[in-house]
């Protein structure tokens, strides 16, 4: 007991000495009771936090109720926290509303860094890897060809393609997860997406995040929160139905992720170490894959078409490269190193519009430091990827769409590009997403020229609507078939 007390005392002494020798983190003045809550209610948080970095530097703090948030705004400080000191910052903050959307923290994206979480991520990671090796390329090719047919059916008329992109991305995930794909008109698919979209949108709103910082607000009626609860219940019902259908299938797809997961969970539960993972984990994995894998990819495709409308000559260069390198065939993922112009467009859109602009908040699981500042245990860390990608110290003309910067080797570096985060919480779908972005874009730009609905029509607004996912505001475009495209 005496040894324990001494140890506790020494730890506190170390913390006190360390803390008092470290400079105080800069940040905007904090107001009585509400702290910096007003800074957190901005329409476009990523760009607001990036603007604050100009005044307070690449690392600063914000106060939200009793919580301290530390915002990281450059590749260097983000890498220090997420990669170099990954084991100090691998946690996720527990939150009242996060628990509601994540089945009590039992999904991968919001679960804290525990033994249970590590077992869960390991099982899903290897299931995903196996299924990527066996069938991913074919699944994406099939959806890319299907998307091509959908665009051909517009026959050169202007359309908002966002729903078509969502269906394509979603079908990749549902085929991998359950061996099931949907038609755009399927009511099941529409219900699933309207519900997931609502949850992501509502959860990102300040009406909801205020409940995490100010518990007293939970006692007041809150129609936005009531809607969130209703949508979470609807989501859970839909996913349960999907899992029931999958288990009842006679010819279950052997390589579907759900099959691997159910098998791995059974094996692990029969082992001696006892049951770590349950049906709730299988359920929440489905939510992770659907949310993580659909809106992100679809939003990215929408951004790409919009940026190419702003710089049509870049679109022409990609098309010429595809024709020269591939002649008449469709691309394979292994062709990516022979298609530098296309690859540079992919990187530049990921840089300018990282679709998860503030990643997902991390939590310090022990006392640590970043850039020489003392960071106490439980501090919430916000990696501002959007800010790092617009850092003028790294990128020349950081706000301009210039894919050629990746070809010329100047104006930035691939090392400073981190749209998928890094370290222990690196995006679980990174490999899958990269293959999807490459193949979908290559197929689309080989077969179509994207043009404005009519001469003089306004170009899409590139500001974006930032919630958890950074999306572009709806716009209409014409997909005009290229000569290579067969009718």
Nearest distance in Å: CB 417, ligand HEM: 11
Binds ligand HEM (CB under 6 A): choice among 403, 421, 460, 464: 421
Binds ligand HEM (CB under 6 A): choice among 61, 79, 281, 425: 425
Would you say 427 is a known binding-site residue? yes
Q: What gap in Å lies between CA 446 and CA 335, rounded to an integer?
A: 14
Per CB under 6 A, 293 contacts ligand HEM = yes
In the three-class reduction of DSSP (H, G, I as helix; E, B as strand; rest coil), residue 369 is classed as strand
- Residues 380 and 93: beta-carbon distance below 8 Å: yes
- Residues 53 and 71: beta-carbon distance below 8 Å: yes
**Nearer to ligand HEM among residue 61 and residue 425 (C-beta):** 425
Q: What gap in Å lies between CA 219 and CA 110, rounded to an integer?
A: 24
Binds ligand HEM (CB under 6 A): choice among 261, 262, 356, 364: 356
Binds ligand HEM (CB under 6 A): choice among 105, 259, 387, 419: 419
- Residues 180 and 257: beta-carbon distance below 8 Å: no
Per CB under 6 A, 297 contacts ligand HEM = yes
**Nearer to ligand HEM among residue 339 and residue 355 (C-beta):** 355
Site for ligand HEM in 86-145 (CB under 6 A): 108-109, 121
Binds ligand HEM (CB under 6 A): choice among 432, 435, 442, 451: 432
Closest of 359, 292, 348, 350 to residue 49, by C-alpha: 359
Q: What gap in Å lies between CA 63 and CA 76, rounded to an integer?
A: 23
Binds ligand HEM (CB under 6 A): choice among 420, 438, 443, 475: 420
Using CB under 6 A as the criterion, what x/- string covers residues 40-79 for binding ligand HEM?
----------------------------------------
Taking contact as CB under 6 A, which single stretch among the options 57-65, 66-74, 223-231, 421-429 is the one that binds ligand HEM?
Answer: 421-429
Nearest distance in Å: CB 196, ligand HEM: 13
- Residues 90 and 267: beta-carbon distance below 8 Å: no
Give the residue nearest to ligand HEM (CB). Answer: 429
**Nearer to ligand HEM among residue 58 and residue 297 (C-beta):** 297
Nearest distance in Å: CB 359, ligand HEM: 4
Binds ligand HEM (CB under 6 A): choice among 52, 289, 306, 309: 289
Q: What gap in Å lies between CA 482 and CA 448, rounded to an integer?
A: 5
Binds ligand HEM (CB under 6 A): choice among 355, 439, 444, 451: 355
What would the DSSP string read from start to end of 421-471? --GGG--TTHHHHHHHHHHHHHHHHHHEEEE-SSTTPPPPP-S-EESSSEE
Q: How far is CA 487 from CA 148, 330, 406, 459, in A?
A: 11, 16, 35, 28
- Residues 477 and 159: beta-carbon distance below 8 Å: yes
Using CB under 6 A as the criterion, what x/- string covers residues 198-237 for binding ligand HEM?
----------------------------------------
CA-based diameter of the chain, in Å?
Answer: 83
Taking contact as CB under 6 A, which single stretch among the options 182-190, 289-297, 311-319, 477-485 is the one that binds ligand HEM?
Answer: 289-297
Binds ligand HEM (CB under 6 A): choice among 284, 428, 478, 479: 428
Per CB under 6 A, 308 contacts ligand HEM = no
For 307, half-sphere exposure in the C-beta direction (CA atoms, 13 angstrom radius) is 25
Nearest distance in Å: CB 147, ligand HEM: 16
Binds ligand HEM (CB under 6 A): choice among 161, 232, 309, 359: 359
- Residues 484 and 447: beta-carbon distance below 8 Å: yes
**Nearer to ligand HEM among residue 433 and residue 442 (C-beta):** 433
**Nearer to ligand HEM among residue 212 and residue 436 (C-beta):** 436
Q: What gap in Å lies between CA 102 and CA 232, rounded to an integer?
A: 9
Nearest distance in Å: CB 375, ligand HEM: 16
Per CB under 6 A, 315 contacts ligand HEM = no
Torsion angles phi and psi, residue 381, rounded to 5: -110, 125
Number of residues in contact with ligand HEM under rule CB under 6 A: 26
Q: How far is CA 145 from CA 68, 299, 445, 477, in A?
A: 48, 19, 12, 19
Binds ligand HEM (CB under 6 A): choice among 46, 292, 387, 403: 292
Q: What gap in Å lies between CA 130 and CA 122, rounded to an integer?
A: 12
Nearest distance in Å: CB 296, ligand HEM: 4
Pairing of strands 59-64, 373-375: unpaired
Taking residue 258's Cβ as centre, other Cβ atoms within 10 Å add up to: 25
Per CB under 6 A, 257 contacts ligand HEM = no
For the beta sheet containing 67-72, the strands, ordered from the edge strand earlier in sequence to the opposite edge, are 59-64, 67-72, 380-383, 362-363
For residue 472, the 8-state DSSP code is P
- Residues 71 and 60: beta-carbon distance below 8 Å: yes
Residues making up the annotated binding site for heme are 427
Q: Which residues bind ligand HEM (CB under 6 A)?
A: 82, 108-109, 121, 288-289, 292-293, 296-297, 300, 354-356, 359-360, 383, 419-421, 425, 427-429, 432-433
Residues making up the annotated binding site are 427
């Amino acid at each position: 007991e005496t040894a324990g007390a001494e140890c506790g005392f020494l730890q506190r002494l170390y913390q006190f000495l360390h803390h008092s020798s470290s400079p105080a983190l800069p940040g905007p003045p904090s107001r009585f009771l509400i702290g910096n809550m007003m800074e957190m209610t901005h329409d476009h948080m990523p760009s607001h936090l990036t603007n604050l970095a100009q005044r307070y530097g690449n690392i600063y703090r914000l106060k939200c109720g009793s919580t301290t948030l530390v915002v990281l705004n450059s590749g260097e400080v983000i890498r220090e926290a997420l990669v170099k000191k990954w084991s100090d910052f691998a946690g996720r903050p527990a939150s009242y509303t996060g628990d509601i959307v994540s089945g009590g923290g039992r999904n991968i994206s919001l679960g804290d860094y525990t033994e249970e979480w590590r077992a869960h991520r390991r099982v899903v990671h290897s299931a995903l890897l196996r299924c990527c090796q066996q069938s991913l390329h074919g699944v994406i090719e099939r959806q890319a060809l299907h998307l091509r047919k959908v665009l051909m059916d517009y026959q050169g008329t202007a359309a908002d393609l966002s729903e078509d992109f969502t269906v394509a991305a979603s079908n990749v995930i549902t085929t991998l997860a359950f061996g099931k794909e949907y038609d755009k008109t399927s009511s099941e698919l529409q219900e699933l997406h309207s519900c997931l979209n609502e949850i992501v949108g509502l959860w990102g709103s300040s009406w909801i995040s205020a409940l995490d910082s100010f518990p007293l607000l939970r006692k007041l009626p809150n129609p936005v929160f009531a809607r969130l609860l209703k949508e979470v219940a609807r989501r859970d019902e839909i996913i349960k139905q999907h899992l029931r259908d999958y288990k009842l299938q006679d010819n279950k797809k052997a390589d579907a992720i759900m099959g691997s997961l159910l098998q791995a969970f059974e094996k692990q539960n029969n082992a001696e170490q006892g049951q770590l993972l349950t049906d709730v984990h299988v359920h929440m994995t489905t939510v992770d894959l659907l949310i993580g894998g659909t809106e992100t990819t679809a939003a990215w495709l929408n951004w790409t078409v919009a940026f190419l409308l702003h710089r049509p000559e870049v679109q022409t260069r990609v098309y010429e490269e595809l024709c020269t390198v591939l002649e008449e065939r469709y691309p394979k993922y292994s062709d990516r190193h022979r298609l530098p112009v296309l690859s540079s467009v992919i990187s530049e859109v990921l840089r300018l519009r990282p679709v998860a602009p503030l990643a997902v908040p991390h939590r310090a699981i022990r006392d640590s430091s970043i850039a020489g500042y003392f960071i106490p245990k439980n501090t919430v860390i916000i990696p501002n990827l959007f800010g790092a990608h617009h850092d003028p110290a790294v990128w020349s003309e950081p706000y301009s769409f210039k894919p050629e910067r990746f070809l010329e080797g100047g104006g930035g570096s691939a090392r400073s590009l981190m749209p998928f985060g890094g370290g222990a919480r690196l995006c679980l779908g990174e490999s899958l997403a990269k293959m999807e972005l490459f193949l979908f874009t290559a197929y689309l730009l080989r077969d179509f020229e994207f043009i404005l609905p009519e001469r003089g029509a306004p170009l899409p607004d590139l500001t974006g609507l930032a919630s958890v996912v950074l999306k572009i505001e709806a716009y209409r475009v014409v997909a005009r078939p290229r000569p290579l495209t067969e009718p």
